[in-house]
Amino acid sequence: MADKQGASMSDEERQKLMEKLDADLDAFISEKTKKAKINNVPDKEKDIDEIVKELETHPAFIKEVDWSKPLSPELEGLMVLKYEEENPTARAEAYKEDGNFEFKKKKYPIAIDNYTEGIKSKSPDKELNAVLYTNRAAAQYHLGNYKSSFQDCVIARKFKPDHLKAIVRGAQCCCEMRKYDECIYWCDAALMIDPHNKVILELRKSADKMKRDVDRDKRKAQAQERKDREEDLKLLKVIQSRGIQLAGMKNDSQGRQLDPTLLTSLEVHNPSKARVHLDADNILHWPVLFLYPQYTETDYIEAFCEKHRFIDHLQDMFGPDVPPPPWDKEGFYTPDRLQIFYEDKEKEKLYKVNKEWTLLHCLQQKRYKVFGGTPTFLLLPSGTTFETEFLKRYET
Amino acid sequence: MADYDTDHLEKELGQFLHIGARGDVKNLAIDYILGITDSTHGKQLLGRKESLLEGIVSLTEDDSSDISAKAYKALINLATDEENCLKLLNLSKYQNICIKWLKVALDCSHENADLLCKLLNNVTRPEKCADQVAKCVLDSKEDLLISKMVLALCNPTYNEKADLYYLAGVLANLSQIRDVRLQLMDKKQCIIQRLLPFVEFKQSEICRTGVVATLKNCSFDTDFHDWLLGEEVDILPRLLLPLAGPEEFDEDDMEKLPVDLQYLPTDKSRESVSNIRKMLVEAIFQLCATKTGRSYVKSKNTYIIIREYHKWERRNDPSNEPAIMNLIDILIGDEPAPGMENLKAVEIPTDLMEKFKKEDEDDMKEILNEGKKEETC
């Protein structure tokens, strides 16, 4: 395309274009010089403070470089010169010195950048690389970056396997990361080189102690788990021996199918996290839920003794001595009028509970199944339209 | 085995037991020697001829690894005889040979390192020899040899071609010598501490035996007891753990135990080797010699571990009974009268000593009879 156009352009046209380009360039240059003049003018108006400030940032007078701000052009130029060294070892060495300078001032992130640049120089000097990695590891360590620090220690040792500082730092990192076995391993490596190193001897001792403490805590937790499980199994056996059915559990006389998790899915209904428990007299106490479908209200009995009768609880909750619940506007909820039912969820059928029954007697009913470890009952006031309608739903 | 005429043997074989001899003849000669070392009689015969012993030693440096390995094996066999050990250590052609052997054993790339460990283990078994080797080691300019042995033993990757388990036996033998123990228990280094985890080293019974024997030997130095029991070494739980079983204790008893013994799993098993168990008991017993040591051992609820172990040991090896009873007596007994707190410093009248010895022997007989009765049941 370009060739075609060039070919089609006449000499006259070309001449015109050249003239235009010349003119544009002249205009640009004159504009530039004007601007430069304008810029130069305010020099005279600068006060002494400003000049001093400017001088302070000049590389010849600079006392300290603020790396958080962009560098002055002069300084940047010098920096480039400094690191433009052809020899990678000299370059790495220069970065190392800078890194050490920043490290001493505890400016660890800047020190890390310097060491990184030094590493990037790819010097063939193994010792120097080991030092660069070890120093970067030290800076990372002081920032709490133990994992990065540890990795640098590992690399430093690849360059120089017996670099003591790298091994010591690596051991310290392991300890901070709570890898006590590894810590002891690194300590032993350090002691091969310096058997009397007090830092390492002390570190090894405390790592050994902490490891043993951690191991004990683990064993303790496991022992507790074991104990809990044994108690759960015992409880489930008692429940089974009573002839009570738990939903999801096969009625296996061998007790092999016992799964303690059957009892643990209670959190939803159970703010107190109460669970069925066995008292010293071998009596079960169940958390029990009463549902009042008419008002979608519930009552929760944390420990319903299996030997107590339903009527006892109804008396306590709805008896003449107790103020009626606020939602019972019509006063239908009395021990006499309340009817208790339980639901067979598979067949979707309701079965009536005799109020004189004990909880145990009810739970032993063939069709009764405990769901979520919490026996649940529906309570309806008799002789109300709600009762008739509610019961109708189960008839179909 | 036929009678050997040693002079004849020396005359016929001596010339071939030499590194400069022809390969095939050397091989035949060392094969023959190796065969002889298999019998007690043969060992004794060979031991009489220093030139033959020197010949065998010279072949350990043969270029053929086959021949050198056979030469080492012959030496290992020879060193099961106490007389031979002394002779091997004092061959006139090979001064301080034990240092050379030790160096090969500790050479981290030597393929015969395990054979050398076995040889050193045998050679250092008689106390006289242990004494001599220990002196050589302690006098040698490479003064780190003892700690280097510990390092090599404790580092599973020290020599890829060898396990060095027998080094534990060498350490145990050498630790009969007080100066060796002083090096093992250098308070400014971490040496004996490294051996501690190997009390539970399931892979090797030899290693476990050697390490526990070493620790037991160290437990005889009363002046180190406070250090051994203190946090620098914390030796008690290491000695107790192999004796602990899966028994559960109530919370109170549990919390008084050293942390390493708390909440042990239900499948925790005891040390399977009876002799190791006995040495552990004896080491703990030694640590009870002084008043501070005793009260520390008692305060760590050592008794309940030993009580359960005792019940168990009765069903396993009744011959450990006296050692256990000695310890239990101290653990539950009253403190001795003032002035007699250091049990080792108490002078026992000879007549009483005799009486105790006899009682111990009678007890032992009774126990063994009981044991037998149980077996026939």
Q: Residue B189: list chain A partners with CB under 8 A.
A: 191, 195-196, 201
Spans of all domains in chain B: 1-94, 96-218, 235-346
Query: Is A222's CB within 8 Å of B232's CB?
Result: no
Query: Is A191's CB within 8 Å of B155's CB?
Result: no
Q: Which amino acid is at A66?
A: D
Residue A272's contacts (CB-CB under 8 Å, 6 or more residues apart) are A287, A302
Gap between the Cα atoms of B9 and B46, Å rounded = 9
Q: How far is CA B34 from CA A394, B15, B37, B46, B111, in A?
A: 96, 16, 5, 11, 20
Residue B217's contacts (CB-CB under 8 Å, 6 or more residues apart) are B172, B175, B176, B181
Scored b (16 or more CB within 10 A) or e, A347-375 reads eeebbebebebbbbbbbebeebbbbbbbb
User: Chain A contact for B263, CB < 8 A?
Assistant: yes
Gap between the Cα atoms of A102 and B317, Å rounded = 68
- To which residue do tokens 């040991």 refer? B313
Gap between the Cα atoms of B61 and B68, Å rounded = 6
User: Chain A contact for B275, CB < 8 A?
Assistant: no
Query: Is B262's CB within 8 Å of A188's CB?
Result: no
Q: How sure is the predictor about B375, in pLDDT bands with cuts at 50, 70 and 90?
A: very low
Gap between the Cα atoms of A348 and A294, Å rounded = 18
> Which two tokens mark B113?
């390192």
* pLDDT values of chain A reduced to their tens digit, one per residue, 396 residues: 444 444 567 788 888 888 888 988 888 888 887 776 666 555 556 677 877 777 777 766 777 666 667 777 777 766 666 666 678 898 899 999 999 999 999 999 999 999 999 999 999 999 999 999 999 999 999 999 999 999 999 999 999 999 999 999 999 999 999 999 999 999 999 998 999 999 999 999 999 999 999 999 999 999 998 888 888 888 888 888 888 888 765 544 444 455 555 555 444 455 566 788 888 898 999 989 899 999 989 888 888 999 999 999 999 999 888 888 999 888 889 999 999 999 888 888 899 999 999 999 999 998 898 887 889 999 999 888 888 888 888 876
Instruction: Please name the member of A187, A205, A216 whose beta carbon is closest to the beta carbon of B262.
Output: A216
Angle at CA A156, nearest 5°, toward A152 and A160? 170
The dihedral built from the CA positions of residue B287, B290, B296 and B298, taken in this order, carries a sign that is positive
Q: What ipTM is given for this predicted complex?
A: 0.81
Whether the CB-CB separation of B300 and B254 falls below 8 Å is answered with no
> Which two tokens mark B114?
């395990």
> Which two tokens mark A49?
């403070």
Domain B1-94 has CATH 3.30.450.90: no
* CA gyration radius, chain A: 43
Q: Is A293 exposed, middle or buried (0-12, 13-18, 19+ CB in 10 A)?
A: middle
Whether the CB-CB separation of B113 and B162 falls below 8 Å is answered with yes
- The domains located in chain A, with CATH, are 85-212 (1.25.40.10), 260-393 (3.10.20.90)
User: Chain B contact for A26, CB < 8 A?
Assistant: no
> Which two tokens mark A207?
């790592």
B148, B259, B268, B300: which to substitute to probe chain A, counting the most A Cβ within 10 Å?
Answer: B259
Q: Residue B265: list chain A partners with CB under 8 A.
A: 219, 222-223
Gap between the Cα atoms of A201 and B328, Å rounded = 35
